[in-house]
Amino acid sequence: MSILTPTHTKVKTERRFHFDAAFFEQLFVLLTLVGIVAGVILGRLNVDPRLLLAVNVATYFVGGFYAVRSIIAALRERTIEVDLLMVLAALGAAYLDAWTEGAILLFLFSLSNVLQSYALDRTRNAIAALLELRPDSVTVRRNDELQEVALEAIVVGDRVVLRPGDRVPFDGIIVQGRGNFDEAAITGEAMPVQKGVGSPVLAGTLNQSGALDMQVTKSAEESTLARIIGMVSDAQARKANTQSFLDRAEQWYAMGVIGAVALFILLMPSLFGVDFSDNFYRGMVLLTVASPCALVISVPAALLSAIANGARHGILFKGGAHLEALSSVKVVAFDKTGTLTYGRPEVADVLPQPGVTSDELLATVARAELQSEHPLAQALVAYCATQGHTPSEPERFQAVTGMGVQAHWDGTETL
């Protein structure tokens, strides 16, 4: 049974698709700007009107391509989006022979969509960053031989060898050896956790010290890391109350604006004798100003960016509704080390026994702990270095499980 997670392939495929779509959308925005500049220059050079018309039509095509495609898709679902307001305003400008103004409107609208897509793509990268917590291949012990195996070939029950610095590829249990594991990316625990035979290990955690063997107990799609990735994906898809309200009100608002502008254009000339062309131009201005694109875009972009930023820093929001609810929170209680602290051990004070000076104690500790991989030992050595104690390596060193370290130098033994 292969246990390669399908999520891995899916997300990579989606990232490639979004990259291609974003590239062409950005290209069309650039071509729209080029078309605007070309249209202005050709207009001042008094070239053949047919050439100028062709340039303007091409500019409209690249500038409004994605907007029109979105509008058509919405109309097929019998809904109206605010994108329609901008496109109608641009077409109205073309009717008034104000091609440049309409093209600028399409350019700004397309540019805003590109910036929105860029922001949303950055949030999707949070899921890809979680996937990168898994290695591409692992070392497996089979028939007393070590083999480098791709993740696709790993099956439940395989015995995986973990060296210092390796990330755990799947959930499992330790069957040989001991080590300290950094679980901050999965559990939020800032301090490394020491584990030995029989201890469970989680996919995505980091083995900081010790060579050991683990047995795979869960498939990739059943691992803790896969569940976290799924929760992040679901959280990004879940809409907040404000966003849901805006989505419901969007088509009614768009229909109301279109109806009001149509009445304004048709009734003002007949009732008050206003020139139709001037009034039509004012109607297009009203259509443009009434478009709430920035408001509609701002809510999902802000929420998705916040969810992704939280995921990158180890904070998982279950959805936009929960994030939005934070605005009403008055008091927050924190009870976990590493949330408001640095999450790493530091020496607070030195209290030597009578008859031993601080310098003597620090010199001994620095030399004894120099080769240790334990987080507390590294903190001690770092502190000793700040106090001017940079020792040479001991002649012999041994880590004693459950006790500490044993070091020998100059005929002296320190435990």
CA 204, 205, 210, 213 torsion-angle sign:
negative
- CA 68 to CA 103: how far, in whole Å? 14
- Tell me which H or E stretch contains 302: helix 293-312
Active-site residue, 275 included: no
Query: Which residue pairs from 147-155 have beta carbons closer than 8 angstroms and sit at least 24 positions apart in sequence?
Result: 151/4, 151/8, 151/220, 152/2, 152/4, 153/2, 154/2, 154/3, 154/4, 154/216, 155/1, 155/2, 155/3, 155/216
**Cβ atoms < 10 Å from Cβ of 405:** 18
End-to-end CA distance of the chain: 49
Give bridge partners of residue 214 from the DSSP assignment. Answer: 160, 174
**What DSSP state is assigned to residue 167?**
B
**Which residues, other chains included, contact 56 with Cβ-Cβ below 8 Å and sequence gap of 6+?**
35, 39, 94, 99, 100, 103
Q: Give, for 215, the enclosing helix (H) or strand (E).
A: strand 212-216
Residue 354 in tokens = 């009578």
* 236 and 308 Cβ atoms separated by less than 8 Å: yes
- Which run of H or of E encompasses 175? strand 172-176
Distance of CA 115 to the CA centre of its chain: 16
Residue tagged active-site, from 48, 144, 335, 349: 335
Say what the alpha-carbon torsion angle 67, 236, 228, 333 is, to the nearest 10 degrees.
150
- Token reading at 256: 């109301």
- Residues with catalytic roles: 335
